[in-house]
Amino acid sequence: MNNIPLTIKETQEGLKSKKFSAVELVDSYLAQIKKHNDEYNIFLTVTEELAYEKAKEIDQLGDFSNPLSGVVTSYKDIFLTKDVRTTAGSKILDSYIPQYSGTVVKKIEQAGGIMIGKLNCDAFAHGASGENSDYGATLNPWNREYVTGGSSSGSAASVAANMSLISLGSDTGGSTRQPANFCNLVGLKPTYGAISRYGVIAMSSSLDTVGSLAHTVDDIEIMYDVLKGEDGLDGNVLNARRYTLNPRPKLGIAKEYFIDGLDSEVENMILDVKKTYEKMGIEVVEISLPHTKYMVPVYYIIQPAEVSSNLGRFDGIRYGNDRNSFGEEAKRRIMLGSYVLSAGYYDAYYEKAMKVRTKIIGDFDEAFKTVDAIISPISPTPPFKLGENTKDPLKMYLEDLYTTSANIAGIPSLALPSTFSKSGLPIGFQLMGPRFSEHQLIELGKKYHQEIDYKPKTAF
């Protein structure tokens, strides 16, 4: 087959009309992987046999009515896949073969998805560039001198490089949205409690969400509808009532977003987005999120605290490798987290951060009384070069300025590609809405892409 379709709809139409078979689809993606993976370091494990097995099964059944029938899917390597090595991007788990699959992996399998492999990522999802992977950084398919963003680096790169149609990442502080943004993709960070985290290696339990990456908002919608809902295994997941869409939605931009660190290209893009919505007759107003400046400090207390707890199980007794196999960033976060939780410091750090978290949630509750969604930058800068931020961890942490708020508040956020920077790299924005307003954000995202006549495209 010549061109691999870039949407679920086209893929399934092609399968139905026998333009190509599922096996041929797998052939094409595998060919792409074989051609570029060594160079771009996207897949850690390619599940060729399993993919062909599933594709044959689909071809034999000839039934393409399941929502993800024939959709070739890749997984960030923190999703547990039964009998398939799962490393979390860390040497600690270099030889770890899980005995069970995560809920979302099972859901995708049941919906007809074909797993093609497991993806590189910042070790234990700690990072905003992919450079913290113990298996080396993933290169950005749009320009190999640049980072893909992180921590779901491989997820974004695999879709941008046409090695899978969709991908699952995770989003604890922006780890799905920022790489989606850096690789010209749509990414969804769902409401905390919309999608089960069962079988996803935990980073920060109160912030972790399962992220979806695809070329179009339509595909993100299909993925969300497949993935959401109670599974009886993640006690924080709720079957939400259908969210009532506002037919005349109103948008807001927080005045606190326009700070010194905001790159002018990103700022101008945000102003363009505002104009685009206004052109469609959607009102965009200025709002205030007064606690925005505390976002990164709060995030870098709560998140390492929970990281230090969740990584404790890798104590050298199980899982093959001892604690020396932890990378620098994991060690840094374990130290930070243990410190903020320790007797004598708990009140000053963790306890206080939890209080500010409540204030931040209050900010958003207040804002959503007047607007249905908030337009925000994702990264303060366009994609940066490999090695540019690695010397200064604090500078890297500031990458999370705009993305962590949705995790801290537990609200959904949709990352949308918008344009390309002067250096030819993708930039985009996010829409954040109230809890369980995913479909409202999806509608707003579709409108925007219609208006700018967005066409999905891959880097090569």
Partner 1 sequence: MLYKTIIGLEIHIEPNTNSKMFCSCPQNHFGAKPNSQTCPICLGLPGALPIANKEAINKTIKLGLALGSDISKISKFYRKHYFYPDLPKSFQTSQKDNPFCIGGELMGKKINHIHLEEDAGKLIHQDGNSLIDFNRSGCALIEMVTEPVFHNVEEVISFTKELQLIARYLDISNADMEKGTMRLEANISLSTDHGLQSTAKLPDYKVELKNINSFKFLEKALIAEIERQTIALDNSEKLVQETRGYDENTKTTFSQRTKADSHDYRYFVEPDLAEIKLENSKFEILNSKLPELPEQKRKRFAEQYKISSDYINILVSDFDRANYFEVAVKLDPSLTKSIADLMINKQFDKKYAAASLVRKLKEITNVEYSSQSDLEEAIREVLYESPDIVTSYKNGKGQVIGFLIGQVQKKLGGKGNPNMVNLKLTEELTNKNF
Burial class (CB in 10 A: 0-12, 13-18, 19+), 315: exposed
Q: Tell me, yes or no, if 151 is annotated catalytic.
A: yes
Regarding 320 and contact with partner 1 (CB under 8 A), the answer is no
> How many positions of this chain bind partner 1 (CB under 8 A)?
37
Q: Tell me, yes or no, if 65 is annotated catalytic.
A: no
Distance, CA of 439 to CA of 441 (rounded, Å): 5
Q: Which of 76, 91, 189, 228 is catalytic?
A: 76
Which strand (E) or helix (H) includes residue 108? helix 103-110
CA 438, 439, 442 angle in degrees (round to 5)? 90
What does residue 198 show for φ and ψ, rounded to 5 degrees?
Answer: -65, 125
Distance, CA of 292 to CA of 361 (rounded, Å): 11
Distance, CA of 271 to CA of 249 (rounded, Å): 18
Residues 6+ apart with CB under 8 A from 93: 86, 87, 201, 314, 319, 320, 321
User: Rounded to the nearest whole angstrom, what is the least distance from the CB of residue 230 to partner 1 in the complex?
Assistant: 11
Nearer to partner 1, 144 or 323 (CB): 323
Q: Tell me, yes or no, if 69 is annotated catalytic.
A: no
Altogether, the residues listed in the chain come to a count of: 460
Regarding 141 and contact with partner 1 (CB under 8 A), the answer is no
Regarding 305 and contact with partner 1 (CB under 8 A), the answer is yes
Regarding 268 and contact with partner 1 (CB under 8 A), the answer is no
DSSP codes, 220-236? HHHHHHHHBS--SS-TT
User: Rounded to the nearest whole angstrom, what is the least distance from the CB of residue 313 to partner 1 in the complex?
Assistant: 5
Q: Which of 33-41, 179-187, 343-351, 441-449 is the region at the interface with partner 1 (rule: CB under 8 A)?
A: 343-351
Regarding 232 and contact with partner 1 (CB under 8 A), the answer is yes
Of the candidate residues 131, 171, 221, 306, the single one contacting partner 1 (CB under 8 A):
306
Of the candidate residues 38, 83, 315, 451, the single one contacting partner 1 (CB under 8 A):
315
Q: Which of 107-115, 234-242, 410-418, 451-459 is the region at the interface with partner 1 (rule: CB under 8 A)?
A: 234-242
Q: Which two tokens stand for residue 318?
A: 């199980």
What is the distance of C-alpha 189 from the center of its chain?
6
Q: Which of 54-62, 285-293, 307-315, 445-453 is the region at the interface with partner 1 (rule: CB under 8 A)?
A: 307-315
Please list every residue from 171 through 200 that binds partner 1, using CB under 8 A.
197-200
The catalytic site residues sit at: 76, 151, 175
Binding site for partner 1 (CB under 8 A): 80, 86, 88, 93, 96, 98-100, 102, 197-202, 205-206, 232-236, 305-306, 308-309, 312-313, 315, 317-318, 338, 341-343, 346, 350
